[in-house]
């Protein structure tokens, strides 16, 4: 009787929901934290808007980015030309929209190239150490001793001015940044117990690098890659402004600024909108990078 009374007064506890017990993956947690961060969410919205602008450029404007018309040159913003026209009568909004394609492509390929090469070199330098580390580190130090834009100018001057060479130059000057970041992370990780245990079990160096060390080094790489997008776009704009990037009539934002700098007092819109586009894209990537850093850095999670 007592047992029946106890069961009646103390009903059996509910079975825990499987969904509640199922732990969220680190990537899902990162995405949730990224969205909850207001600044990173604003940055994500900015980048999505420019991606849509680049993808939908042919459908958003009836004009050609290369067609000139001297009868409508330097017109202010209006219903027909939202951002006005430039000194050759080309629609500025059309050129800004198509220029988003160029700038985002430069940022993507330059950062991906720098990330892949820099990560591989950083893994090798940090894991093997000794003379390999010393040699690669000195190369990185020499490259970082030069101002990045001057080194990019030198590379493009040697290879010849073109969009592809500008992209290559930007990738090269960013390799040491990723390499040194990965090197420092690998040096700390290879002393961890799970790496030493895997080594004691006879795991080969290649498998140890790509199955244990690299996955645990991805957080700072992702953050640096996101921040590197903004830097790459600024560097591409600088090369374009100096005439060492895309050739006319390709609508690259830096080249648009260079072509319109003589009309800044009479036709401010031809300079304002390309410059504003560069600023917003860089700001968006920096906001996302800061949000990723806060989400992936354990030291920042408690703050």
* pLDDT tops 50 at residue 2: no
**Mean pLDDT in residue range 71-90:** 90
* pLDDT tops 90 at residue 178: yes
* pLDDT tops 70 at residue 3: no
Residue in 229, 228, 218, 233 with CA at minimum distance from that of residue 295: 218
Compute CA 203 distance to the chain's CA centroid, rounded to the nearest angstrom: 34
**Mean pLDDT in residue range 178-183:** 92
Alpha helices, DSSP H only, in 71-162? Answer: 92-128, 130-145, 148-159
CB within 8 Å of 272: residues ≥ 6 apart: none
Contact (CB, 8 A) for 103 and 250: no
pTM: 0.82
Assign 3-class secondary structure to 132-148.
HHHHHHHHHHHHHHCCH
**Residue-range domain boundaries for the chain:** 108-183+223-296
Contact (CB, 8 A) for 106 and 230: no
Q: pLDDT tens digits, residue range 91-118? A: 999 999 999 999 899 889 999 999 999 9
Q: What are the backbone dihedrals phi and psi of residue 24, each rounded to the nearest 5 degrees, phi first? A: -70, 145
In angstroms, the Cα distances linking 169 to 38, 175, 240 are: 34, 10, 13
Instruction: Say which residue, 300 or 228, is predicted with more confidence.
Output: 228
């Amino acid at each position: 009787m007592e047992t029946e009374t106890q069961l009646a007064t103390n009903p059996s506890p509910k079975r825990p929901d499987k969904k509640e017990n199922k732990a969220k993956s680190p990537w899902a947690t990162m995405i949730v934290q990224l969205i909850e961060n207001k600044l990173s969410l604003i940055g994500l919205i900015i980048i999505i808007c420019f991606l849509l602008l680049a993808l939908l450029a042919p459908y958003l404007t009836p004009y050609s980015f290369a067609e000139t018309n001297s009868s409508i040159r330097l017109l202010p913003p209006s219903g027909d030309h939202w951002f006005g026209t430039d000194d050759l009568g080309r629609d500025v909004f059309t050129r800004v929209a198509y220029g988003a394609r160029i700038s985002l492509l430069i940022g993507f390929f330059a950062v991906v190239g720098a990330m892949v090469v820099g990560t591989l070199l950083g893994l090798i330098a940090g894991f093997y150490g000794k003379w390999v580390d010393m040699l690669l580190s000195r190369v990185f130090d020499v490259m970082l001793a030069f101002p990045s834009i001057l080194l990019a100018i030198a590379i493009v001057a040697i290879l010849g001015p073109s969009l592809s060479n500008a992209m290559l130059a930007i990738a090269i000057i960013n390799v040491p940044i990723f390499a040194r970041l990965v090197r420092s992370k690998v040096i700390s990780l290879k002393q961890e117990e799970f790496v030493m245990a895997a080594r004691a079990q006879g795991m080969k160096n290649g498998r140890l690098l790509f199955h244990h060390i690299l996955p645990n080094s991805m957080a700072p790489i992702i953050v640096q890659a996101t921040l590197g997008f903004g830097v790459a776009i600024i560097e591409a704009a600088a090369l374009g402004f100096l005439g060492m990037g895309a050739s006319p009539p390709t609508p690259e934002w830096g080249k648009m600024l260079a072509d319109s700098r003589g009309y800044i007092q009479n036709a401010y819109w031809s300079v304002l909108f390309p410059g504003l586009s560069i600023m917003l894209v860089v700001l968006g990537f920096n906001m996302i990078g800061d949000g990723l850093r806060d989400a992936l850095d354990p030291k920042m999670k408690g703050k």
